[in-house]
Structure 1
């Protein structure tokens, strides 16, 4: 009788090894799934378990925010923040941070929220999430040159749409005002793009880290104009050292600056954004934003 060699041993070994691989794979898969689920639920819990919120502001943009001699940060935004944090029942720790590193610091988890007169723009919306706006303001030039001050009063308010065809007449008027002059502007703001886009081929533009720095150079005669927010200048021009400077040309508002100033959050912190959106809605409805705006700006800037 022929003997048929049955490869049962080798098959059994192969099968055993195969089953061992499957078992190990299954065990690893289950372990990874369990770990992923754990991380997922941990992340979800952490995202909703807010007790303390770290808030960055410049602390040098009066009257929005300013640092007092004792180190306390005061102004419209710190006072509004205190009100909002009480509404959401969270402890808010406010800290000063240079503007040019603020958004990067937010996305690097150095802070949880930004509150620094930040204008909503499409470019910023691509990298951070905004609350609804709590203010809407205007931009304007200032000068300390007597002839310019006399010839270009700032009693006019114009609204620019951002459409060059619609805005060209006003832009041409401003280009004539600043031609062959030096303009100072804080870097990285919504106003920076506006000034560089419309005046860099007729004027010299200098950028500064802080708005107070362009005021120093204006007073020293190193620049001819500064461009910034009306609310900043309304406060800055009350200081005796700035008494020679005056707003000149029209005050510029409208859609060109976007929807207005708002809180900024990391894209993933939707729950935190929603908490503050609800608090802002209540503060707008009950008149808190209007009251604080009139206290600090002498005008209602509620959007």
Structure 2
């Protein structure tokens, strides 16, 4: 997935000093924001190395609301949190869910999107039949139902090879609930596990439903579909939000009202329907 241009951009993002600037009054006037650039349709590198996607549009909108100048750079997913804490940039806007594990090392804004996971398999495969129709469960509010649904997934995929993106909430879910039943194969990017799934080197992938929709839109996946139980809550987090350093309370105080305004005036709804074809606006 990552082109040489994208890798070069990521390297530049790491090498440059943080762009958090203050006027003499102490007001924040500019920001450097990191995104993965490899997680369509949330964020991806389009033609000519240009960053595109839901979060690119949203980040630019939030920057206007906060009256700051923003530079958005690509950063490999597995190093995105360490680089934030090393002050290589000021914020992360990269499909990152709020989880207890991440809250140990970084802070978050209020959520700007709500997601769940899903499993993609070949349509006519034994795995598809065993998983059954799509159903949704919340690990936090439906513990008993979720436990039964997880057991169904474990049995349906027993002995199979499952692809998941490394250092993601979905890899945490897979390790907690499916380890021992399936062979877990981790990938740096979703595009990498797409390639192995299409080539038959793995039997299924698990990930964010919106990213999986992007996978299924590709011609080579016409014979694949989402099947079986999908989950939200618990280890999968409390919504997608802007990642911030623990010492960035001033910045959190800027992002939170900007996100609230973008939700209130329908901008988040409009952008999510543009990129995902569904409304991803957080509820409550």
TM-score interval for Structure 1 and Structure 2 normalised by the shorter chain: 0.7 to 0.9
Q: Deviation per CA, 1:163-191: give whole Å up to 9, x if none.
A: 86563211111111110100111000111
Q: Residue 121 of structure 2 aligns with which residue? A: 143
Question: Which of these residues, 253, 258, 272, is aligned with residue 237 of structure 2?
Answer: 258
Q: Residue 268 of structure 1 aligns with which residue? A: 247
Q: For 1:28-177, what aligned pairs fall within 5 Å after superposition?
A: 48-144=26-122, 146-147=124-125, 148-161=127-140, 167-177=146-156
Q: Residue 163 of structure 2 aligns with which residue? A: 184
Query: 2: CA distance between counterparts of 1:296 and 1:166?
Result: 31
Pair member with larger Rg: 1
Gap change, CA 1:174 and 1:51, over 3 Å in 2? same
Structure showing the higher helix proportion among its residues: 1
2:236 is equivalent to residue 233 of structure 1? no
3-state DSSP of counterpart to 2:94: strand
2:250 is equivalent to residue 277 of structure 1? no
3-state DSSP of counterpart to 2:49: coil
| 8 Å CA contact 2:99, 2:235 repeated in 1 | no
Moved more, 208-217 or 254-263: 254-263
Q: Deviation per CA, 1:249-282: give whole Å up to 9, x if none.
A: 1222245522200001111111111111110111
Q: Deviation per CA, 1:26-84: give whole Å up to 9, x if none.
A: xxxxxxxxxxxxxxxxx998894322211111111011011112111111000011110
Normalising by structure 1, report the TM-score. 0.81
Query: 2: CA distance between counterparts of 1:293 and 1:240?
Result: 23
Q: Deviation per CA, 1:109-134: give whole Å up to 9, x if none.
A: 11100001100011111111100000
Normalising by structure 2, report the TM-score. 0.86
Query: 2: CA distance between counterparts of 1:167 and 1:204?
Result: 21
Extract unaligned runs of 5+ from structure 2.
1-20
Q: How many residues are aligned here?
A: 261
* C-alpha RMSD of matched pairs (Å): 2.1
Query: 2: CA distance between counterparts of 1:145 and 1:230?
Result: 16
